[in-house]
Structure 1
Amino acid sequence: MIVAASLVLIVLFSVAFHLVSPWWWTPIASNWGYIDTTLVITFWITGAVFTAVVLFMAWCVFRYRHKPGRVAHYEPESKRLEIWLTALTALGVAAMLAPGLVVWNRFITVPDDATEIEVVAQQWFWSYRLPGADGQLGSSDVTWISADNPLGLNPHDRLGADDVVIDGGDLHLPIGKPVKVLLRSVDVLHDFYVPEFRAKMDMVPGMVTYFWFTPTRTGEFEVLCAELCGTGHGYMRGYVLIDEEAEYEAWLGEQLTFAGLPAGEGVQVANTAEPIGGSDP
């Protein structure tokens, strides 16, 4: 009786905690709503299964508790039960996967007016690159990385001359403007994660991954690495600050461009009025 009652109390406490929990999601970025809706669907499905399984266990403990003279019933298999369990499991998995596929499509379908920025990870800090006046990022490669060129920008690419380079500092973004975040790692696996933005993505050496979002609230939000990347993993933190337009422009005007770094001296800024077919050799 104690075991059965404890199982029932676990279910009641879990459901009550979910319903009256003080922790609820707050919309801070554009992708917050549809991602959380998917999580809620998952909670309902897994919660229903959890409740059914635990209550069934409680019923079994109570119904088939030990009594003098009772002999256990042995039933090695039941095809009917197996078919029902397989069908219900498949239905539950499909119900959780389908919304996720829709959300994933929205997560990687970038608006045409989104501004590209770059996040570069290395043990154990974050660096960033933003486009300059031409609105475009120049090319980069790990072979160009040096003490004077920490992000590996191509010194022969005119598009990168006015790129804003933030080596190990904090990232600022303007409110209300869509941003495509390009993710690059120069050493091991990392994961760029801003919990309040409902945005995270693995950063794989040799690949450029991405996601997009539109900041909808000003403030300071912590950046975490969500992939174990070495002994300094827990200290790999930073901040993203969402500013009003005037504050963002003031901050942007104080930052160094690649042309202002030793590795970028002499690089000519591209004339965006002319057609650009790629990087200069």
Structure 2
Amino acid sequence: MHVVLVLVLVAIGSVLFHFLSPWWWTPIASNWQYIDDTIIITFWITGVVFVAVLLFMAYCVWRFRHREGHKAAFEPENRRLETGLTVITGLGVAAMLAPGLFVWNHFITVPPDASEIEIVGQQWQWSFRLPGKDGKLGRSSIDSIADDNPLGLDKNDPDGRDDVVVQSEDLHLPIGKPIKVVLRSTDVLHNFYVPEFRAKMDILPGSSTYFWLTPTRTGTFDILCAELCGTGHPYMRGSVVVEEQLSYDVWLDSQQRRMVAQQDGTKGQKGEVEVQQ
């Protein structure tokens, strides 16, 4: 009967560990409480099934243990049992999938007043592009990627001339404003993930994916790549800073002035080369 005791203890221990464990999710910092609720529903359904299966196994081990004078009855088919298990399993799977479908639809239905930013994954760093004063991001193409244009921006697109490109620095976002996040990769498969945002999306080379969120808490949060993307994968990290609108405006203005200074410096260098020639 040691097996029965072990199975019962595993069931009880699993339930206690779930409720008493010190490890849980990081505090949420976006509007995606729906995702937490969906995961909790999944936990409850799978948890109940897990405990029920363990206790049923313990009962079977005890009830049908070997006893002298008792012979096992062979019953290869039981239509009532099979029908019941099929119906219960189907309802359980539907209960887990249905909330996720509603949340997914909301996850990719961007509000009309959302501002747009672009996040580019490349081995092994994150780059960010924000719209300038026109509020529009310029076009980009993987065919335009070059040494002097690592993000593949279309330099002939007027909407992109005032875009703000941030590389090897923190991404800043204003609190309380909906944001559409457009994701691109310049090389291999990556995955953008900020645990506090509950935002996680694959980035596919040669195409764009997207989602949206509204930051709800100020602070600095880690950006992780949640897809194995090469030998430097563990070092592909970044930070996103959520701040009040005034602080965000100051940061964005400094980035815009930096971009203008870089463009002026590039033009000056080209002029000097032409004069020397």
TM-score normalized with structure 1 length: 0.88
- Between stretches 58-67 and 207-216, larger displacement belongs to 58-67
The separation in 2 between residues aligned to 1:204 and 1:264, in whole angstroms, is 32
Q: Residue 28 of structure 2 contacts residue 198 of structure 2 at CA under 8 Å; is this kept in 1?
A: no
Q: Which residue of 1 aligns with 2:6?
A: 6
- Could you tell me how far 1:153 is from its partner in structure 2? 1.0
Q: Which residue of 2 aligns with 1:51?
A: 51
Consecutive aligned runs of 4 or more in structure 1 exceeding 4 Å deviation? 261-266
The separation in 2 between residues aligned to 1:260 and 1:158, in whole angstroms, is 18
Point out where structure 1 has 5 or more consecutive residues left out of the alignment.
Answer: 267-281
- Could you tell me how far 1:22 is from its partner in structure 2? 3.2
Number of aligned residues: 265
Greater helix fraction, Structure 1 or Structure 2? 2
The separation in 2 between residues aligned to 1:155 and 1:76, in whole angstroms, is 71
Q: Which residue of 1 aligns with 2:235?
A: 235
The separation in 1 between residues aligned to 2:73 and 2:261, in whole angstroms, is 81
Q: Residue 155 of structure 1 contacts residue 263 of structure 1 at CA under 8 Å; is this kept in 2?
A: no
Q: Residue 148 of structure 1 contacts residue 263 of structure 1 at CA under 8 Å; is this kept in 2?
A: no
Residues 259/130 of structure 1: CA separation in 2 closer, same or farther (3 Å cut):
farther
Percent identity reads 62
- Between stretches 218-227 and 17-26, larger displacement belongs to 17-26
Q: Which residue of 2 aligns with 1:217?
A: 217
The separation in 1 between residues aligned to 2:14 and 2:63, in whole angstroms, is 23
TM-superposition CA deviations, 1:80-114 (whole Å, max 9, x none) = 21111111111111111111111011101111111
TM-score normalized with structure 2 length: 0.89
Q: Residue 148 of structure 1 contacts residue 261 of structure 1 at CA under 8 Å; is this kept in 2?
A: no
Q: Residue 192 of structure 1 contacts residue 201 of structure 1 at CA under 8 Å; is this kept in 2?
A: yes
Residues 262/93 of structure 1: CA separation in 2 closer, same or farther (3 Å cut):
farther
Q: Residue 171 of structure 2 contacts residue 241 of structure 2 at CA under 8 Å; is this kept in 1?
A: yes
Instruction: Name the SS for the 1:180 alignment partner.
Output: strand
**Alignment equivalent of 2:259, drawn from 257, 260, 273:** 257
Instruction: Name the SS for the 1:106 alignment partner.
Output: helix
Q: Residue 38 of structure 1 contacts residue 99 of structure 1 at CA under 8 Å; is this kept in 2?
A: yes
Point out where structure 2 has 5 or more consecutive residues left out of the alignment.
Answer: 269-277
Residues 253/128 of structure 1: CA separation in 2 closer, same or farther (3 Å cut):
same
The separation in 2 between residues aligned to 1:161 and 1:239, in whole angstroms, is 26
Q: Which residue of 1 aligns with 2:194?
A: 194
Q: Which residue of 2 aligns with 1:29?
A: 30
Instruction: Name the SS for the 1:90 alignment partner.
Output: helix
Q: Which residue of 2 aligns with 1:67?
A: 67
The separation in 1 between residues aligned to 2:226 and 2:69, in whole angstroms, is 56
Q: Residue 4 of structure 1 contacts residue 62 of structure 1 at CA under 8 Å; is this kept in 2?
A: yes
The separation in 1 between residues aligned to 2:202 and 2:45, in whole angstroms, is 27
- Could you tell me how far 1:259 is from its partner in structure 2? 8.5
Instruction: Name the SS for the 2:210 alignment partner.
Output: strand
TM-superposition CA deviations, 1:176-214 (whole Å, max 9, x none) = 111100000111111101111000111111211000000
Supply the AA of the counterpart residue of 1:194.
Answer: V
The separation in 2 between residues aligned to 1:47 and 1:23, in whole angstroms, is 17
- Between stretches 138-147 and 245-254, larger displacement belongs to 245-254
Q: Residue 258 of structure 1 contacts residue 264 of structure 1 at CA under 8 Å; is this kept in 2?
A: no
The separation in 1 between residues aligned to 2:93 and 2:58, in whole angstroms, is 25
- Could you tell me how far 1:136 is from its partner in structure 2? 0.8
- Between stretches 214-223 and 58-67, larger displacement belongs to 58-67
Instruction: Name the SS for the 1:217 alignment partner.
Output: coil
Residues 234/138 of structure 1: CA separation in 2 closer, same or farther (3 Å cut):
same
Supply the AA of the counterpart residue of 2:29.
Answer: I
